[in-house]
Structures are given as structure tokens and as C-alpha cells.
Structure 1
Amino acid sequence: MKASSSPAGPAPLAPADNSPPPSRRGAGARTRGLLLDSARRRFAYDGYAATTVRDIADDAGVNVALINRYFRSKEGLFEACLKAVIDELVHAAGAVADLEQIPGIIASHTAGVVATDGPRDALLLLLRSSGDERTEEMRTGLLRMFSERLASVAGWRPGDPDGDGLLLRAQLVLSVAFGITVLRASPGLEPLASATAQDLAEPLRELVDALLTRR
């Protein structure tokens, strides 16, 4: 009689893995991205005070409780939006190598992108205040960095005896960029409202040349 084989022992236990499955992680990242996109548009066009977390959640099509899960609060969500904008604009500032590029970069950002209006939203968001001291420092720091970057392309250096004048001129150029953005957000103000980046580039080139070219 053939001896029966002994039953196999229990399989060894795999190490515990408490991380969420990939599908859950992917869903979480997608939800977070939807909330950021929705909040960015709301904060940019309606302002911080007028925007509610329910507005943001409804636009994103998710439960409002998820804002607290991913961002802790409305203030945390605003800060996350501002950090994302800072990353985008710092990247754009790094691309500026000479004065000839400045009009085109300003034109493309103030005109926005037809499909998403991403660059224009970014500039509008920088004009909004949450009243939170930390986010205000971030916002002011970015504006200072941008104006110094513009001035440095024109030849400004810290400690330059004539530096304040050139930095002021760079801040005026930056002010024009924000002014264009605000006015284009007002429907019906033609021809500015529907001007393309190409339409804006030439007058901006004249402005940059008048303010930032040293003679």
C-alpha cells in the first residue's frame, strides 16, 4: 500500500504591508488633483473670502470632507494652490535669459491657455489674499523674486547705486502684467479681452524696451 504524503505546512506569512493598494493611491492622487484645480479657479476668480469649501468640492465632484483629509482646511488648500503656482512661475522665471524673451513670456501668461487658462489663473491667484501670514509671505516673496529676476536680466545687481531705479522699473513691468490679467478677466473689455498672445507681444515689447533697456 502506497504511503500517503504528509500534508503541506502553512505557507509563510508575507511581511505586513499597510500601504493602500495602487488603485487607492491613484484614486487619492486624482481626487487631490481635482480639488487643487477646482480651488485654483475658484480662488483666482472669486477670491479667498467668497469661496467656500463646498463650492470647491462641488466643482470637483467629490465629498467636501475630502478637503480636510487631503489639505486639513480651506487655508491649507489655498496654501497648496499657492505653492503649485510658485513652482510654475519660478520655472518660467528661470527660462528668462534676456530682455527679448520677456514680452513673449508675459504675453503668453497674461493671455492664458484657451483650454485651461492655467497661466492666467496663476497670476490672478497671486493677487488674492487669504489673510494668513505665512501664505502672505510666500506670495510677497514670489513677487519680489520675479521683479528682481526681471531687473537682473536688464543688468540690475544688488548694491548697484542705480539699482533701486531699475528694480522699480521692473516692478512697473510686473504691475502691467498683473493689470492685463485682471482686465482680461472682465468680460466685454475689448479689444483687450480677446487679444491673443501675439497681439499683446508687440506693445509689451515697446513697454519693456522703454522701461528696462539701459541707454
Structure 2
Amino acid sequence: MYIPRAPEPRKPTRPRDAERTRTAILDAAQTLFATRGFANTGVREVAELAGVNSSLVGRYFGSKEGLFRATLDRALYITPLLHGDRRRFGVDVVALFFDTRELPGPMAMMILSAADPEAHAASVELMQTKVIAPLARWLGPPDEEGRAARLNILWGGFLTSWKLLPIQPLAKARIASTRRWLEATTQAIVDEGSA
């Protein structure tokens, strides 16, 4: 006589939290892209650091290039700064550089990934659309795009010389005076439109 086997009891499944998974993947990607660059970061490594299956990276972002773009798009976000007190813009921006202890910044991601043509193209495009253009609109005439570019050069040069290719004059003993200079120079470029 044949007695059918009872089906295996289903294991309880945890409900997926898509937003939490997506955020974990983006955080892991930002850490790895900003410390290893695009070429030396694999999707499996990102998934492992995020604590997810690597197939989820593909499901959420399509490809490694899509993941890089989404990660940089999230990291390059200047809009909240443009709603603060214009007279304190230099102090507020520079405070982000010095006082934020979050994920590695987008500058490292872009510089370490510049050798890859797709990552480079995404970096250039997103820098323009997410930083330069909104900053230029906020600055207003005269020469808003030139001033936005000068601010980007100032900040990028500082962050590169302080974090990515550290130079001795930016050692801890001298960083306070550099901070004051960066605040004042940033504010001077912002105030050019008010003169």
C-alpha cells in the first residue's frame, strides 16, 4: 500500500524589506568603491559586505555600472545645503567635510574609478547634474557656472589633498587654520554675487 508523504512544513520566511536591502547594498558599494575603486570592486564583494545574495544586486541595480551610478547618485547630494543660511554657507559646507563620520565620500569613489570609461562618464555626468548645476542655480548671477566650478575645484582639491593623497601641511597640527581658510574662501566665492 502506498502512503503519500506529508509535505515538508514550510519554513517561515522573513518578509523582505526592499528599502533596507537596497540601502545596505548602496552603503556597502560606497565603502568598497571609495576604498578600492570601480575595477577592484566586485558585485559578490558588495553583496557579502551588505549581507545579501549577489543576485539581489542585479535585481536592484542591473549591473555593476548601474550600482556605481546609483551609489554615486545618492552620495552626491548638495540640495539640503542650498536651503540653509546663505551667510553661513562656507561654515556649513566645510563642517560636512570635517564633522561627518559617515561613509567614505563620493570624491574617493570618482577618483579611484576614473580609469574605467563607464564609471568616469557617470562621475562627470552626475557631478554636473547633482552638484554644479544646482549650485550654479542657487548662486545666481554673475558667472554662476564659473563660481560653481571654482567651488568644486576648491573642495575637490582640498579633499584630495587631505584624504586621498594626504600632504603634510594638512596634518592635524595645521588643520584648524586650513579649515578657517576653506570656510572663508568658500564664502567669498558665494558672496561674489552679492558685491
- TM-score by length of structure 2 reads 0.70
Query: Whole-Å Cα distance in 1 between the matches of residues 161 and 173 of structure 2?
Result: 11
Equivalent in 170, 174, 179 of residue 192 of structure 1: 170
**Aligned in 2, Cα 1:110/1:69: closer, same or farther, shift over 3 Å?**
same
Matches within 5 A, 1:56-135: 56-86=46-76, 88-92=77-81, 94-98=82-86, 100-111=87-98, 113-114=100-101, 116=102, 118=103, 121-125=105-109, 128=113, 131-132=117-118
Matches within 5 A, 1:17-56: 23-26=14-17, 28-56=18-46
Q: Which residue of 1 aligns with 2:133?
A: 145
Deviation at 1:45, TM superposition (A): 2.9
Which residue type is aligned with residue 72 of structure 1? G
Which residue type is aligned with residue 139 of structure 2? A
Query: Whole-Å Cα distance in 2 between the matches of residues 73 and 96 of structure 1?
Result: 36
Query: Whole-Å Cα distance in 2 between the matches of residues 39 and 62 of structure 1?
Result: 12
Whose radius of gyration is greater, 1 or 2? Answer: 1
Query: Whole-Å Cα distance in 2 between the matches of residues 126 and 148 of structure 1?
Result: 21
Superposition CA RMSD, Å: 3.3
More helix by share: 2
Question: Contact (CA 8 Å) 1:110, 1:177: kept in 2 or not?
Answer: no
What number of residue pairs does the alignment pair up? Answer: 178
Which residue type is aligned with residue 136 of structure 2? E
Query: Whole-Å Cα distance in 2 between the matches of residues 90 and 136 of structure 1?
Result: 18
**Aligned in 2, Cα 1:63/1:48: closer, same or farther, shift over 3 Å?**
same
Unaligned runs of 5+ in 1: 1-20, 157-162
**Per the alignment, in what secondary structure is the counterpart of residue 24 of structure 1?**
coil
**Aligned in 2, Cα 1:189/1:212: closer, same or farther, shift over 3 Å?**
same
Deviation at 1:131, TM superposition (A): 3.5
Give deviations 1:158-179, integer Å, cap 9, x for gaps. xxxxx33x54234212211112
**Per the alignment, in what secondary structure is the counterpart of residue 25 of structure 1?**
coil
Deviation at 1:148, TM superposition (A): 0.2
Asked if 1:172 corresponds to 2:159, the answer is no
**Aligned in 2, Cα 1:62/1:44: closer, same or farther, shift over 3 Å?**
same
Question: Contact (CA 8 Å) 2:57, 2:67: kept in 1 or not?
Answer: yes
- TM-score by length of structure 1 reads 0.65
Question: Contact (CA 8 Å) 1:82, 1:139: kept in 2 or not?
Answer: no
**Aligned in 2, Cα 1:63/1:40: closer, same or farther, shift over 3 Å?**
same
Question: Contact (CA 8 Å) 1:147, 1:174: kept in 2 or not?
Answer: no
